[in-house]
Structure 1
Amino acid sequence: MELQKMGEEVGTERLNGTVPNHDKAAVLENGFEGEEHAMTEQEEFLPHNNSKKLNQFTDFEGKTSFGMSVFNLSNAIMGSGILGLAYAMSNTGIVLFVVLLICIALLSSYSIHLLLKCAGVVGIRAYEQLGLRAFGHSGKVVAAVIISMHNIGAMSSYLFIVKSELPLVIQTFLGSSGNTNEWYMNGNVLIIVVSICVILPLAMMKHLGYLGYTSGLSLTCMCFFLISVIYKKFQIPCPLNETHHEVPEYYNVTTEDDVCAAKIFTVNSKTAYAIPILAFAFVCHPEVLPIYTELRRASKRRMQNVANVSILAMFVMYLLTAIFGYLTFYGNVEAEMLHTYIKVDSLDRLILSVRLAVLLAVTLTVPVVLFPIRRAIQQLLFHKKDFSWLRHVIIAICLLIIVNLLVIFVPNIKDIFGFIGATSAPSLIFILPSIFYIRIVPNEKESLLSRSKIQAACFAGLGFIFMVMSLSFIIVDWVTTGKSSVGGH
């Protein structure tokens, strides 16, 4: 009775189909009152003949705690790009890198704010449905396709790391006498084994919130990586350190006096590549609304706090990793920082443990990234269907098969998904949230010339600049060197 009474006061059960009876204030905070024009959309999105009927994606009465939501979103933010941040710092200098990192973190938080505000206006917590509300069916399709492209690219990049790194780690454990012809030394076989034994069981979970524990483990592995980077800073001497008499051949040390001096501010031919690398480092937007859906006592403010804590935590981790990695190798750091450590000492047990930790972290991130793709597919093809375990499992299996085939048979997968990442990441961070906000928020509430909508329009313009710049860098690399330096997530 209390739930029905609340429904009469609010107008309809518009918090994705069910309004928790303990959270009326959160509903009002999200701005659902007075938005009668969204009623028809909501009825099409979630038919509610029975107020207790569950939706096909979740029951919408969030059960995931604040901490678990932070773990999941932080895990979604942190990608393999963390391994390239020290290289980015070497091409920007410490001060410029910190300024860029702060700007990108703030812009990412603002982008999530736009998404949550759109969701609050119309009572929809699905990226694809925001596209439908803003631009009709074509907007829904575009949002779903961009999310799928980006997350398939991210999943492929993670499995590509497993394919290339896991055989080397096994070989190191077995010693140089290991037989490279054995099945367990074949990267293609190993990614299939990892997909079946680790990723698929986790992808079977009905709710994203259940992955909070594995996300916590993944973040723990990356914290171990960070601690090891800091420790190694004080263990690996500078090539020109007078106390270090034998210089590793790898360094190819020149006679420049400042080879061991940190650059505070620098600009070179590779500086521009640092901006896309940093921008892509905070891409988590496809996961924001699914996590919001499952958040306990969900409200716009509470979800924004989840996003802010996650972004702040990743900002600190990114900054420390970049600084200590850069101050270890200075200008000699590679785009893949782990490779730099391996070339110094390939048998270092600590670095071997770090490689295992990174492999575990990226493996446990794949199921988190898979959820938004499956949600997008269900929104497009099975929107009016009730939840089905069979469909839930089949979609996960098909996605993993597609990603495995891409990693196995496409030789230049990094270039392909670098290209996809250069188009999808700016769209997800800058363009889509901005244009959704401009279209969804009624002009009666905020006119087109209001400060908020002008800011959103400028934000979308910045996204187009990022996209054009990233694509230009990739095309130039293809023409000059035959490979891309701009990675995805």
Structure 2
Amino acid sequence: MAWEEVHGAWGPKELPRPGSVGVSYGFSVLNLVNAIMGSGILGLAYVMAHTGILGFSFMLLIVALLASFSVHLLLSMCTQTAVTSYEDLGLFAFGLPGKVVVAGTIIIQNVGAMSSYLLIIETELPTAISEFLPGDYSGSWYLDGKTLLIIICVVIVFPLALLPKIGFLGYTSSLSFFFMVFFALVIVIKKWSIPCPLTLNCMEQYFQISNATDDCKPKLFHFSKESVYTLPTMVFLFLCHTSILPIYCELQSPSKKRMQNVTNTAIALSFLIYLISALFGYLTFYDKVASDVLQDYGKYLPHDAVVRTVRLCFLCAVILTVPLIHFPARKALMMMFFSNFSFSWIHHFLITLALNIIIVLCAIYVPDIRNVFGVIGSSTSTCLTFVFPGLFYLKLSREDFLSWKKLGAFVLLILGGLVGNFSLAVIVFNWINNK
């Protein structure tokens, strides 16, 4: 396939040469950490309660290593083919249909993720703000979720998403990373503020809701019907593959090894924060932990200023993640519809505006957007993390099939198919049961 067929005007035709001006190693790591970490961290203590400490830690480590390996395959294919975008890898492997499928998958995944994050802002931010107000201000415009959502998108999300390069978000990613570290530290510290057996403070009277001392003993391994959600949940935790190549293109002194180090550092930092948050959240509430650990802190420490602050900081981190997810979605749209045009600020502005309008409308008006995204995300996330890297490497690499990379790619392909179908089956089964 000719070079001109593979490369559109929207993607860089080659990486900057070593020594060129680009985004620093540190900012690249922070941008990738921001792309990795999201609202899924709130449910990790609940997942650990249904898998046990060692079971959870082992599975989280395996998924982190697989995510790092799939990125390694993507970077290897970029080196072999000289393309620098996920969409172009699909084009190089399977022609125009491959490019359209990859671009469509990225758009669906990222629009769904951004809409879900905005829904969290709409529903949780008014409560977080009201906790800092001394009286009853219900009915005020600044406690209306839809109004706050529109203001945040106009004032914060849209201007940040309008930036021409993803590297410019390094400063906001640094702030988001600080908020996530603060979240993890508060969970560690508050472990000693909530006694076990758990007691609930209601109207200055304390009610013990857990009597058995066995309820305060951590389990190393534990399996229940809820354990089936563990692997699908963990796959979502390390989904950052749509941001890998845009960050790679802007990396200072770019090379496959340097970008792999960026990825490994970002995944390691995310793994550490995930593990600490899950472990100490679980050791605080044990089997009584909720699927959203912040709800438990609000229940057992209802007047704690630090808990209120960390809730607000977490929502700020979610807000700052949305523009970063916006970049790959806009790039996919441009490569699908404007790949034969040179860069235009008019196209850039209009597509950014259109995407922001779409995600706001989805967050406000689409009923059960989380369930919709759960069904779609179970397929798109596993495709982007496992299926596409494995499939493309098997197609493009000239190595022997028994080489360790090709065998690993085959394992990723099979695992991605199994996890995606299993996740979809579990979600549909739960829908049927709930109805």
TM over 0.5: yes
1 CA distance for matches of 2:293 and 2:305?
16
> Retained in 1: the 8 A contact 2:34–2:177?
yes
> Retained in 2: the 8 A contact 1:57–1:387?
no
> Retained in 1: the 8 A contact 2:11–2:84?
no
> Retained in 1: the 8 A contact 2:6–2:91?
no
Structure 1 residue 256, shift from structure 2 partner: 3.0
Give the one of 172, 186, 195 matched to 1:228: 186
**Letter of the 1:470 counterpart:** S
Corresponding residue of 2:419: 466
Instruction: Look up the SS of the partner of 1:63 in the other structure.
Output: coil
1 CA distance for matches of 2:311 and 2:42?
11
Corresponding residue of 1:43: 4
Q: Where in structure 2 are there 5+ consecutive unaligned residues? A: none
Structure 1 residue 155, shift from structure 2 partner: 0.7
Residues 136-147 of structure 1: pairs in structure 2 closer than 5 A: 136-147=95-106
Give the one of 242, 251, 254 matched to 1:286: 242
Is 1:104 the counterpart of 2:63? The answer is yes
Instruction: Look up the SS of the partner of 1:136 in the other structure.
Output: helix
Give the one of 438, 453, 457 matched to 2:406: 453
* Residues 240/400 of structure 1: CA separation in 2 closer, same or farther (3 Å cut): closer
> Retained in 1: the 8 A contact 2:50–2:226?
yes
Larger Rg computed on CA atoms: 1
Residues 337-376 of structure 1: pairs in structure 2 closer than 5 A: 337-376=293-332
Structure 1 residue 296, shift from structure 2 partner: 1.1
Give the one of 325, 334, 339 matched to 1:383: 339
Structure 1 residue 211, shift from structure 2 partner: 0.4
Corresponding residue of 2:373: 417
Instruction: Look up the SS of the partner of 1:259 in the other structure.
Output: helix
Would you say how many aligned residue pairs link Structure 1 and Structure 2?
Answer: 426
Corresponding residue of 1:89: 48
Corresponding residue of 1:266: 222
> Retained in 1: the 8 A contact 2:31–2:173?
yes
Structure 1 residue 449, shift from structure 2 partner: 4.3
Give the one of 159, 162, 174 matched to 1:201: 159
Corresponding residue of 1:132: 91
2 CA distance for matches of 1:167 and 1:376?
33
Corresponding residue of 1:300: 256
Residues 63-82 of structure 1: pairs in structure 2 closer than 5 A: 63-82=22-41
Corresponding residue of 1:171: 130
Corresponding residue of 2:360: 404
* Residues 240/405 of structure 1: CA separation in 2 closer, same or farther (3 Å cut): closer
> Retained in 1: the 8 A contact 2:10–2:335?
no
Structure 1 residue 176, shift from structure 2 partner: 4.5
1 CA distance for matches of 2:30 and 2:324?
11
2 CA distance for matches of 1:314 and 1:383?
34
Structure 1 residue 240, shift from structure 2 partner: 5.6
1 CA distance for matches of 2:429 and 2:130?
36
Corresponding residue of 2:113: 154
Provide TM-score, normalisation by structure 1: 0.84
Greater share of residues in helix: 2
User: Greater CA deviation, 118-127 or 62-71?
Assistant: 62-71
Structure with the bigger RCO (C-alpha within 8 Å, sep 6+) is 2
Corresponding residue of 1:252: 209
> Retained in 1: the 8 A contact 2:77–2:89?
yes
2 CA distance for matches of 1:477 and 1:98?
26
Structure 1 residue 72, shift from structure 2 partner: 0.5
Q: Where in structure 1 are there 5+ consecutive unaligned residues? A: 1-37, 48-54, 483-489
CA displacement, residues 214-250 of structure 1 (integer Å, 9 cap, x when unaligned): 0010000111111111110011111269xxxx9855x
* Percent identity for Structure 1 against Structure 2: 42
* Residues 274/175 of structure 1: CA separation in 2 closer, same or farther (3 Å cut): farther
> Retained in 1: the 8 A contact 2:198–2:209?
no
